[in-house]
């Protein structure tokens, strides 16, 4: 089993329901065990004009290697109506592998740690909530430290009492 961190995001449809249901779908996969789930955050989009996102992170123990996990994540995205039309465009669901143990790898389809992990508050804030001491293997800094180094404007905790 390997420890990995994933980001979940959505900004089309009922994003909270989509993210929560995608998490359920993910944890129903054999060999995937949920270790921790962050709160949900409302975040400003990166890229073309589009609605705000709902973002969160999870830490999992998985039996799958990174490529197998990526295939699973892409299948779940499709299950929830993900259509890739423009880079950084609006989406029903986005599932990204952020970290996989202390692995550093780059293939045509997958980069670990995630390419933009160190510069994106919408990922670092929820990840720091559940894995503050995880050392990002390129910078050699803890996730909590990286979260302090980015502008967190536009990342707002969603009050669980507001979720119906």
> Active site includes 159?
no
> Active site includes 96?
yes
Find all residues with CB under 8 Å of 39, minimum gap 6, and list them: 56, 126, 129, 157, 158, 160
> Active site includes 91?
yes
77-98 in b/e burial notation, b at 16+ Cβ within 10 A? beebebeeeeeeebbbbbbbbb
Q: Which of 17, 91, 102, 162 is catalytic?
A: 91
Q: How far is CA 134 from the centre of its chain?
A: 15
Cα separation, 106 vs 4, whole angstroms: 16
Q: Which of 84, 96, 102, 120 is catalytic?
A: 96
- What is the DSSP secondary structure assignment for residue 79, as one 8-state letter? H
Q: Which of 17, 33, 52, 82 is catalytic?
A: 82
Q: Which residues are catalytic?
A: 82, 91, 94, 96
């Amino acid at each position: 089993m390997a420890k990995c961190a994933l980001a979940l995001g959505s900004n089309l449809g009922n994003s909270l329901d989509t993210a929560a249901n995608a998490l359920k779908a993910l944890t129903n996969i054999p060999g995937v065990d949920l270790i921790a789930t962050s709160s949900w955050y409302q975040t400003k989009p990166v890229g073309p004009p589009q609605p705000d996102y709902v973002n969160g992170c999870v830490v999992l123990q998985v039996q799958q290697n990174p490529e197998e996990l990526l295939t699973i994540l892409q299948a779940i995205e499709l299950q929830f109506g993900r259509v890739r039309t423009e880079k950084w465009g609006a989406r029903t669901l986005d599932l990204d592998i952020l970290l996989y143990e202390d692995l550093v790898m780059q293939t045509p389809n997958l980069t670990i740690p995630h390419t933009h992990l160190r510069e994106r508050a919408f990922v670092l804030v929820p990840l720091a909530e559940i894995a503050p001491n995880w050392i990002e293997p390129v910078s050699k800094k803890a996730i909590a430290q990286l979260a302090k180094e980015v502008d967190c404007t536009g990342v707002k905790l969603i009050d669980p009492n507001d979720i119906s």
